[in-house]
Structure 1
Amino acid sequence: MRVQVAIIGAGPAGLMLGRLLELAGIDAVIIERRSADYVLGRIRAGVLEQGTVDLMDRALAGTRMHAEGLVHHGIELGFDGDRHRIDFSALVGSQVMVYGQTEVTRDLMALRQAPTIYEAEDVELHDFDGKPWVTYRKDGVTHRIDCAVIAGCDGFHGVSRHSVPEQSLTTFERVYPFGWLGVLTDRPPVAHELIYAHHERGFALCSQRSLTRSRYYIQVPADEQVGAWSDARFWDELRARLAPETAEAMQIGPSIEKSVAPLRSFVAEPLRFGQLFLAGDAAHIVPPTGAKGLNLAMSDVATLADALIEHFTEGSPAALDGYSSHVLGRIWKAERFSWWMTSLLHTFPETGPFGRRIQRAEFDYLTGSLAAQQSLAENYVGLPL
């Protein structure tokens, strides 16, 4: 097989890139090591920046999102029971939409006309400094795809970044000493907007997937085992970390999914290696606190799609040449915001009482400063693409 672009990974980043290229008449194949059912079964975040909403519309994939997504005009922050609402619409004239990453994936997958190769084993990237090609094995047969460009959208553990020689790559990483224990339940959310809460026992988040399905998180040690948490223990701990009126209003129910997600900050530089381009989680990871992971991946592939369209339709390499530096500027701003939100809202045992007093002072400054609230709102709803 010969194509213009080989996309590695059929998550939302790879599917969005494939969709944008397809609409522009550029020939691209997607290669995914997992099954389609596995990809759709992954439970991920669901807060979409306005830029991501606009990108779904550009991809002609926004119909169900607009029908079922929940527009949120703000969030609530809490600290030891004290509460403050950040009003995005009043502060910066924008908003976000709650629509699950699984649903984004489903919508993009349903629209795809070009080939997607699922359950591709032993994927290898070859000669991306010259004339690139990709091999994979399926049903016991090895296949080869020749291409002009490889887009690595296969996540943190994928083959794309790991195919780059170590001496060609610089990585920056911080692994946090805690994770998020998340529970999905078919109960109405406790509030119309997300609630982020700091408590001396640890961070808590009240989120949602729909008007009837809720997603809740609590901070736990990084090595915590899901099996140690019964539903009853989880609900007791969550409610202990929330303001009393919120805890009392919460409707609890059996979990339909429960998992622990580690938290890390990670950036790889650069993001271009010959004709191999990294995007999404293959290039960076952010803590989920700032709701930036999916949105940052979408901004990467929006930029990459425009650069590839310019390259293939106009013969200009300028945008591709500038891809890495362009997206890294936005990536680091998102890393900064996610780190700041994480630092404000989680407990860090190593910082002791002094650290918690600093966090309290930060919260008090934020809630008392219009400028500080505008900065939070501007970053949360998403910086311009």
Structure 2
Amino acid sequence: MSFVKDKLVKVLLVMAVLVGIFGCAEDAGRVEAAASHELNYFKYETFTHEGRSWLRLELGIKGGSAEYSTKVKELTPKQLHVILQDTSRGKVKSDISLDRKIAKYLTLRDNGDNSLDVMISLNKPVADQAYKIYFAEPERHGKKPYRMVIEIAEDKLADEYELEQPKESESFENLAGHRIVLDPGHGGSDSGARGHNGLLEKTATLAISQNVASILRSSGAIVTMTRDTDVDVYGPLASDRDELQARVDVGNANPANEIFVSIHCDAFTSPTAHGTSAFYYQSSYRGRLLAEAIHQAIVEETGLASRGARTARFYVIKNSAMPATLIETAFISNYQEEALLGDPDFQHKIAVAICRGISQYFKMR
């Protein structure tokens, strides 16, 4: 019996070793299935041709011409995406600052399917730019490898330009007479978080809040703002508690005020963190309804990733005498979302979403 057991153990050990070997071989096969093309060079310059300013980006590609497509997302009209198929980033940096004359920065992101997203953040909407993409042969004297060249003009010629359509006015019928408190996060001596390209949280939150206030007022709502300029609410260099209490006091000063909406931008140490979220105080049932309504509207209206509506103990939502929510609109520490937060079109778009959520909340009462 002992002999049989020993044999069985040995057989099982052999099988385990074989499984491990074949498993490793399979993994190795997966590793070997790398992209056929790899970036190996980057250079950019601005130049003038026939009185027109251009930006030239050069991306060296090992392995010859790669198939590519271009894309401009509705929510990010100032970002040109060039999607390279069967291509990896190689040793080229993933985030590259440009001279800001025509474009602000370039990011390279592996999509996980052996494609590479080359994203160029422009000063103007892509629709207002002229650009061309081509491949260039190696230049031995200039020490340039085979490369993809992207050239972008500062603007379009008169016969190429398309007039931007004006925004349609937005209003919501069921908001007339409702009293709403808006709290643009930070301000004055407190800049809040800072994006990689210099956008300040206090600037983005005020711009979005002013859009929200304008839409609410055009819908007949009575709006109180804790601040409507770049100032401290309590006073310069106040303690966090004094500043936050001053914001709560603005809302609580009038018992007729019905909801308190604090607008912020999220931030994290990693630039990959992204999405939108909303918070409410745990014991506030109506605060939850408000947070969920606004959060759902933002996700549906903007397409931002949902990080959920959940509880928190933030001072302003805990101490407000009315249903309250704190909205983290998007991550200012994320390159793409920072660009959105600083874009007037997106500021208006997310403001419409916030107002739509507020409207939905009052419909539930």
Superposition TM-score, scaled by structure 1 size: 0.21
Task: Determine which structure has more spread, i.e. the larger CA radius of gyration.
Answer: 2
Q: Which one scores higher on RCO, CA 8 angstroms, separation ≥ 6?
A: 1
Superposition TM-score, scaled by structure 2 size: 0.22
